[in-house]
Structure 1
């Protein structure tokens, strides 16, 4: 039985690949790739000549079985996407799942990722974020996804194709209200650029290229003691105990529990 290697490939600059990834691509029996012509450019750059099997979102269910059979027969396979890590907003998850179900060893060969690269040069000081990938085409489906994240205290990170950029910004404005936005385009390429803008005044001077949009959370408003007292009274009038009120308001508004408790004493 062979091994399935999930290999990270460059997201722009062909030099952004690990020694191990090159070694794996040189030694596997065949490579499953999202786009044969695109992958051939990378392989030619590193003088690698291996059989290629087309594996994209329109064929992954059909091709997964064929690839798994090859691996079961003893062949090693490297799975690559056009850019970055396979199975992250790219084909691959179905093949990985089928391989695991058949007892095949699956190894990660880490490489570049547009989402982490964009976050790293954005200057945002958050210890978490929500990655939404590419939003669905239908507005109803987009709205369903955003409904679960609109009140998040962390940034939302999306992949956006250039032809969808303005439409996506307008949709996000309608659903989320105005937010600050960091837009990162053409990561690791010659025209890599970081834009600081907002959903209501979305200004990008050149919309060519692939974008990562980082939508900031709503800026917190510091509540005054009088405002917190009103919130406390409202919850007490609903029948909550003082302890329940402290816990509830602290969680909902991210307020220190001791501060709320001291204010409850005044009531």
Structure 2
């Protein structure tokens, strides 16, 4: 498996977690045990061990794999590197729709998207087929795809399901507590929110990707495959603002940033009642914003 593979990088990050949990001066399990824990081949395990050894994280001699130091955040591959090709296309496609202001009825050709996103035809086709189930994209006989309209009925149905999923995921977060991986992942997003908010006049267009990351974190840490799959169309409509008015976009983004931070700060303080109230208010405002700002077909 190539070291440039997103799968390898994800496995490497998992191996760093194992090293961290075992602790300094302790020894790692056998290659066979690591292969089972990481769900990769023993060949990949050896490549991971080789890189851990090179980074000075472990000392690997024969069967002995001693931990020399705890992993640092800089040892990990970032989210953008561990994302699969299909996941990367998802975000790229949403930004393409947003930045190009594509109208309903726009034809989307697989060959054009393949060149634009620099991925294989199979990756493009897999994404489009997956996304077409939600009704915003349909397949035509001439092999092109068509971006369909965005109706009020569609948006209201979509928001109802989004609200159910996100509220369930947020209740799960609260049940886990402030030290849960979900809460810590959201808290870690505070500096980026603060940075955009401080420079909102020039950086407000950086918010959609962060908005998606905030809400997708909730869903992905909940780890329900159906919720995760459904979230592609949620990101398209609500985070990337497909077919929304542009006139008040800066204000909308500023308000949402402030609401995100209210949730994050409450989680950081361990005030779950306040965090729950802030999250409910955020979803309520998101629905009001959608109703007022969307361009209905």
Task: Give yes or no for TM over 0.5.
Answer: no
Mark the structure with the bigger radius of gyration: 1
More helix by share: 2
Higher relative contact order (CA 8 A, sep 6+): 1
More strand by share: 1
The two structures have a TM-score, normalised by structure 1, of 0.28
